[in-house]
């Protein structure tokens, strides 16, 4: 990760991975609410994994949303 430590013009960059096993989108939302005040980041990148999507689709109340999600993902 050395090439991520500074920009091309020499400015220092701090790269962090705050992902935790078992955390889902709800945890990401809480982290996005509180961590920026502590770390004062210029950029935040969030990746929601397949487990989050599969959990959402497993809920009975999400059956109506499945068709929309599949269309959005270009699977139909």
CA angle 54, 72, 64 (to 5 degrees): 60
- Shared domain check, 40 and 12: yes
Residue 5 has pLDDT above 60, yes or no: yes
What total of structural domains would you count in the chain? 2
Dihedral sign computed on CA atoms, order 69, 57, 33, 40? negative
Q: What is the per-residue pLDDT for 19?
A: 78
- pTM for this prediction: 0.49
Q: What is the per-residue pLDDT for 76?
A: 47
- Shared domain check, 66 and 35: no
- Shared domain check, 56 and 34: no
What would the pLDDT profile of 14-58 be if each residue is shown by its tens digit? 888 887 777 777 788 888 888 888 888 888 887 767 766 677 667
* CA distances from residue 10 to 28, 39, 56 in whole angstroms, order as listed: 31, 21, 43
Helix (H, G, I), strand (E, B) or coil at 6: strand
- Shared domain check, 59 and 27: no
* Domain that includes residue 56, residue range: 49-76
- Shared domain check, 61 and 24: no
- Shared domain check, 56 and 39: no
């Amino acid at each position: 990760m050395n090439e991520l430590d500074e920009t091309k013009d020499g400015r220092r960059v701090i790269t962090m991975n705050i992902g935790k096993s078992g955390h889902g989108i709800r945890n990401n939302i809480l982290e996005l609410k509180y961590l920026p005040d502590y770390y004062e980041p210029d950029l935040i990148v969030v990746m929601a994994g397949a487990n989050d999507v599969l959990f959402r689709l497993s809920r009975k109340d999400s059956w109506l949303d499945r068709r929309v999600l599949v269309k959005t993902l270009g699977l139909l």
